[in-house]
Amino acid sequence: MKLISQQGREDLAIVYVARSEGGNLVEFVESLHPPKPREEKWILTISTLYGCPVNCTICDAGPFYLGRISKEGMFWQLDKMISGKYPDEHIPVKQLKVHFTRMGEPTFNMAVLDVIKEFDWYWKAPGFMPSISTIAPRGSEKFLDELISLKNEKFMNGRFQLQFSIHTTDSKKT
C-alpha cells in the first residue's frame, strides 16, 4: 500500500486514501468525538473490501467490487494512523474504537476476525473496542457465529460494538 492523499484536521477528522500494490484505491479515516479529547475517544475507521458487491444505491463504494483487502492491508491502514501519534506502540486512549466498515461489507471478509484477534500482538491498547457495521447479508452466518465466539471470549463488558444497518430507498419503509 502507498499513501496518496491525506486531508482533514487533527482536531476533527483526517481522511486518507492509499493505493494497493494491485492498483486498487482504499479509503480510511481517523476521527475524534468533540468535545472529547483523543485520550478519551479515538475512532479509526478502515476499509475491509475494495468497493462492495452489495451495491447499495446510497453508497459510493457500491458500483464496483475488486476483492477483499488482506489482513496485512487492514493492519497497514491502522498502522498508518497509529504510528505517527503512538510510535512506542502503546495507545493510552480510554475508548479506541476500531470501526470495520466502508469501503466494504465486513462480514464478506473473514480476515477482519484475524485483525480483531491479532490487534494486541502489535499494540498495547487497553481501550481497544472493535466495532462492526454490517447489513448482515445472506451468507454472513459463519462470520457472525465466529464473531460472537470472539466477542464472548475477549470483548465482554461493553468492549465491543455491533451496528446493524438497514438501507432502503422506499420512503414507505423509512
Residues that bind ligand SF4 (CB under 6 A): 52, 54-56, 59, 61-62, 102-105, 135
Q: Is 59 helix (H, G, I), strand (E, B) or coil?
A: coil
- Is the Cβ of residue 41 or residue 105 nearer to ligand SF4 in the bound state? 105
The C-alpha cell at 124 is: 498495547
- Is the Cβ of residue 51 or residue 91 nearer to ligand SF4 in the bound state? 51
Residues 65, 53: contact at Cβ < 8 Å? yes
- Cβ 66 to ligand SF4 shortest distance, Å: 13
Q: How many CA atoms lie within 13 A of 80 on its CB side?
A: 26
- Cβ 137 to ligand SF4 shortest distance, Å: 7
Q: Tell me the Ramachandran region of residue 137: left when phi exceeds 0, alpha when psi lies from -120 to 50, beta otherwise.
A: beta
- Cβ 65 to ligand SF4 shortest distance, Å: 9
Whole-angstrom CA distances from 106 to 2, 12, 33, 89 are: 22, 25, 23, 25
- Cβ 135 to ligand SF4 shortest distance, Å: 5
- Is the Cβ of residue 97 or residue 102 nearer to ligand SF4 in the bound state? 102
Distance CA 101, CA 163 (A): 10
- Is the Cβ of residue 29 or residue 52 nearer to ligand SF4 in the bound state? 52
- Is the Cβ of residue 52 or residue 93 nearer to ligand SF4 in the bound state? 52
- Cβ 103 to ligand SF4 shortest distance, Å: 6
- Amino acid found at 133: S
